[in-house]
Structure 1
Amino acid sequence: MGIAVGLAGALLLVTAATAGVVSSVFGGGGGGGCVGATGTGATSPVCAEVPVGGWVRPVVGEAGSGFRTGGRPGHDGVDIMAARGTVVRAVSGGVVVRVRCNVGGDSWEPTGGPMPCDSDGYPGLGGCGWYAEIRHPGDVVTRYCHLIRQPIVTVSEPVTAGQPIGHVGSSGNSSGPHLHYEVHGGYPATEENAVDPILLMRRKGVYL
């Protein structure tokens, strides 16, 4: 049995196993907006400037399939619809802890040569495609999946809020271009410590 916790009209099912995760991840504040999609640092009319130490949207687009819905109980993130090639940005400052190609149950480190994730995937293929993970203060981890090519950041590289890390694609288990975005309340990121990205981002002042 779980406890339904409301936050700005949304609900998150909190069980005994996840209560500590939710408490630790949601225990922060800070404003946020998003950086303009041009990559120049200029803002668009719908995007606020990035505050020092703030959080931003990972990509400009509409939220689609949500976190662990009734139809997709194993969906550990939120899908954000965006055109192929749209810039994907780090949501907050941290350090890159993983860059991988993941399809069909297999996973590879980048080799510098052609990789299975360089082509579009399809539903049922399995895997996150090209993805990156960033570890933020407090051991919060964010994951960015289905990128079009190898992420443009490397493991151990420090990143700042709004910094480009890759581009929207459709690699891995994907039916079309979009960003699958996850938030985890612990390091390393696991299925057990995944939390609803919409709720976490809302807590940080960012609306997906």
Structure 2
Amino acid sequence: MIGMVTIVQSRGRRGWRRRIALVVGGAALVLVLVVAGGAVWVLWPAGPRPLFQLPVKCGETWQLGTYPGHGDYDVDFFPMKGPAWGQPVLASFAGKVVAAGVSGSLGGRTPDNPKGARGSGGGYWVKIDHGGRWSTQYLHLLEPPMVQSGQRVTQGQQLGKVGSTGDSGAPHLHYEQRRGLMKVETYFNGGPSGITTDDREYTITVKSNNCP
């Protein structure tokens, strides 16, 4: 009897070890597949750059700028005429909305209270996937976006209005173009904006060709 008990216990331990080995092996395989899939996604080349236009009305001239600490390739938009508050923000190219809502906290800055409490992050914002691993982002909008996640938008369609929600010191549009996970220099109407590093403060003026 003692011998039989010993054999049964030995077999039980071997079976338990096999089950542990299978579980560990399966988990390792899943991890390898996830890492490999992530690497493929990161390294997969982007498609051709879309013909992005300024995210503002056709024919308008806007000031584009950056400053130290702003972030490489980040662009702030200010109108050359009229108040910034409430200016229409347009899609710079057609695509699918993948985010539309609040990033961070809104704060309390409004046209009636421009010195209100400063928020955090991008405030009201929109992100659009343009295909080919290209996307654009529109931050600090005045009000909740006029579009919602999952919605298809056309070039020139209004997404919201210029405001100062989130971490913003004055009403403006913070705009980004991204290739995959990386921010890149903004191009408008087929040409580079010239706004690259944030090592100094500088501005340019550009006329919008975001026309029907």
TM norm structure 1: 0.58
Equivalent position to 1:180, from 170, 174, 178? 174
2:184 maps to which residue? 195
The alpha carbon displacement at 1:123 in A equals: 9.1
Alignment partner of 1:101 is 2:123: no
Cα contact 1:103–1:126 (8 A) shared by 2: yes
Question: Per-residue CA shift, 1:74-124, capped at 9, x if unaligned?
Answer: 3551101131100000000100000121235xxxxxxxxxxx467448797
Distance 1:81 1:123, change over 3 A: farther
The residue correspondences of 1:45-194 to structure 2 (distance < 5 A) are 61-65=62-66, 71-72=68-69, 74=71, 77-82=74-79, 83-104=84-105, 116=106, 119-120=109-110, 125-186=119-180, 190=181, 193-194=182-183
Cα contact 1:65–1:78 (8 A) shared by 2: yes
The alpha carbon displacement at 1:196 in A equals: 1.9
Distance 1:206 1:154, change over 3 A: farther
Distance 1:167 1:185, change over 3 A: same
Bigger helix share: 2
Q: Percent identity?
A: 28
CA RMSD, 1 decimal:
3.3
Report the number of matched residues.
Answer: 145
Distance of 1:145 and 1:171 partners within structure 2? 8
The alpha carbon displacement at 1:206 in A equals: 7.5
Distance of 1:29 and 1:154 partners within structure 2? 22
Greater C-alpha Rg? 2
Letter in 2 for 1:79: D
TM norm structure 2: 0.57
Which consecutive aligned stretches of 4+ in structure 1 deviate over 3 angstroms post-superposition?
27-30, 32-37, 73-76, 116-125, 205-208
Cα contact 1:183–1:194 (8 A) shared by 2: yes
Q: Which runs of 5+ in 2 are unaligned?
A: 1-42, 194-205, 207-212
Letter in 2 for 1:63: L
Alignment partner of 1:28 is 2:49: yes
Q: Which runs of 5+ in 1 are unaligned?
A: 1-19, 38-42, 47-59, 105-115
Distance of 2:130 and 2:98 partners within structure 1? 10
